[in-house]
Amino acid sequence: MCGILGTLNFNNRVDTDRIALMRDTMPYRGPDSNGIWISNNLYCGLAHLRLSILDPTPAGHQPRVEENGRFVISYNGEVYNYIEIRAELQKEGYTFETGTDTEVILSAYIEWGEDCLNRFNGMFAIAIYDNENETLFLARDRLGIKPVYYYQGEHELIFASETKAILRGLSALPGLNVELIDDYMSFGYIPGEKTLHKGINRLMPGHYAFVKGREMKITQWWDLTFNNDEDKGFDYYLNESKRLLESAIDLRLRSDVPLGIFLSGGIDSSAVVGLLADKVKEPLKTFSIAYDFGKNFDETQYARMVADKFGTDHHELKITPQQFADFIPEYIHLMDEPVTEAAAVSLFFVSRLAKEKVTVALSGEGSDEIFAGYDLYQYMNVLEKYRSVVGQKGTDLFAGMANKVLGKSHKVSKYLNMATQPIEKRYKGMSTYPDAQKEALYRPDFKVELEKVKTETSHGAFSAKLFDKTKDNDQLSKMLYFDTKTWLVDDLLIKADRMSMATSVELRVPFLDYRLVEFAASIPSKHKINKGEGKYPLKKMMEGVLPNDIIYRKKMGFPTPLKLMFQNELREYATNLLLAEDTRVHKFFKKERIAQLIEEHNADKYDHHKTLWQLVVLEEWLRKNS
């Protein structure tokens, strides 16, 4: 796990000092070594920050140039099946000097070109420059576990693991894609290719790009397909899912540095512990975190139950609401993008705890998205049944009720609004904000501006494209595909990458092994949700391995006491931040409406903590980035 950066200049020669300044904005991504390489023609520069995982000797230094000097690589991530690929390449006559996967990736590209990506099992962001053809190759893994951002200006292309590195290289901050503020208010993050900064884009998951001169050609090399009409029987899907999950865990044990597990006490991380415990000689190191704010925000008793059962070397930490409050500015800095994922703060602290003992950690991210673990999926199915029964009059009734409870209950209003629309329009993923909530906040002139600048990048158009790809699939498959392309990559995986790398810890996610993801997409939906139980294949496979109190308890998922904190520790901070004369969000939102939200929340009249947190994150981001 590392940090990568590079520039491809169209007119001017590379400025080595400038590349170093950009690289050094994210030192935590690679504390073990760093390097810079400049092409023969002086128009391309690659930089690298190394967190040593495989072959931690100096031989693993990057950027790495192959022996003939034609190709050079700067790479972030892990290709877990590098041993098997290396053996295949050795049969073709390749020799290897190091024990790294970096050398294998570079040789694989030389042998197979971009088709090498189909052979890789892992998480990766790859940059390879061809000195002979003067062409840059950029690639991102299938699910988007590792990030790649790029900026195409008049005179150069810049790419990096984080946007702050790109911004450091620009002479001025880019303007804002103001229409994406509407996306942010709808999702709590910004899905898709564009970011809030004009000109800075994401290379999308499962895509690669060739850049030669000013021309950049992007190609999608992988997508997820739900071919689940054929039913081979539940036992087949159960056994094959378990085999693939165990194989995924086995591959992710490949490391030359200490390894541990983030253990929340939920079924996902507990399953990783349960399936891994017998495969290691020494006790597993496990790490848990909770808020010192009562049992509703503390899962450590369940984590302890699992740790005791499997005899792990267990470590716990409780953080206070004040620590959360104090960390907010640093959270904004590390996340790069405005993302209202409060659980990211918990992940930072548990990563920092883990760093005292390990450099690599496994976690349970992705299980809910491949096995349908969220309750929302079942709510959506119920809504669809009601819609088919009550017809248009019923949906009109739901709309009227939604308007009446606006402000009183975020959750109730959200679901009533959802009940008025078909799945393609009502479903926006796991982190959904009611349209009426944001509309009540928008200034009239901002609404006019939004109407003027609506483009194909708006969330409505982006969502429509995703649903169009699954138009022949059942409702659950449509939602799972949507979440894989939005919530998973642009919220959960951004959180995972930023907060773990901020503490120089590599986070591995076995549930997102592409073989398991593809297989799960072939499981008929009726086997994923059975008798009111989501993630049914995972729960059944863990019976007899984990206690039933772990398997069948209600999901908590790093809960944060934001409602209470906005009434206490964050009360003065939020008021001063959101109601000051120079508050940036006033350009888009009504100051009087923000004041009303704060007043109602403090009086415990209504719960507005999600909207307040959304406004706080955006305001802090705007202050640092605009």
CA neighbor of 199 nearest in space, from 138, 131, 164, 152: 152
Please return the burial class of 67, using the count of CB atoms within 10 Å of its CB with bins 0-12, 13-18 and 19+: exposed
How many angstroms separate the CA atoms of 406 and 173, rounded?
Answer: 37
Residue type, 330: E
DSSP, res 261: E
CA neighbor of 573 nearest in space, from 346, 349, 334, 321: 321
Q: For residue 385, what are the CA distances in angstroms to 175, 391, 429, 475, 527?
A: 45, 10, 19, 11, 19
Contacts of residue 143, Cβ cutoff 8 Å, sequence gap at least 6: 123, 205, 206, 366, 484, 488, 489, 493, 512, 514, 517
How many angstroms separate the CA atoms of 346 and 324, rounded?
Answer: 8
Told to judge if 2 belongs to the known catalytic residues of this protein, a careful annotator would answer: yes
Pair of tokens at residue 438: 């944001």
Contacts of residue 578, Cβ cutoff 8 Å, sequence gap at least 6: 585, 594, 598, 612, 615, 616, 619
Helix (H) or strand (E) holding 8: strand 2-9
- Lookup result for tokens 């629309």: 421
Q: What is the CA radius of gyration of the chain?
A: 24
Q: What are phi and psi of 494, to 5 degrees?
A: -60, -45
The one catalytic residue in 1, 2, 125, 224 is 2
CA neighbor of 484 nearest in space, from 504, 498, 469: 469
Pair of tokens at residue 518: 């593809």
Please return the burial class of 591, using the count of CB atoms within 10 Å of its CB with bins 0-12, 13-18 and 19+: middle
Q: What are phi and psi of 533, to 5 degrees?
A: -105, 115
Q: Is 337 helix (H, G, I), strand (E, B) or coil?
A: coil
Binding-site residues sit at 101, 289, 363-364
Helix (H) or strand (E) holding 549: helix 548-551
- Lookup result for tokens 């200049």: 9
Residue type, 153: G
Contacts of residue 360, Cβ cutoff 8 Å, sequence gap at least 6: 53, 255, 257, 258, 259, 260, 505, 506, 508
Binding-site residues for L-glutamine sit at 101
Please answer whether residues 140 and 125 qualify as being in contact, where contact means their C-beta atoms are separated by less than 8 angstroms.
yes
Angle between helix 609-625 and helix 591-602 axes, rounded to 10 deg: 130
Binding-site residues for ATP sit at 289, 363-364
How many angstroms separate the CA atoms of 234 and 168, rounded?
Answer: 53
Angle between helix 475-485 and helix 459-469 axes, rounded to 10 deg: 130
Contacts of residue 356, Cβ cutoff 8 Å, sequence gap at least 6: 315
Catalytic residues: 2
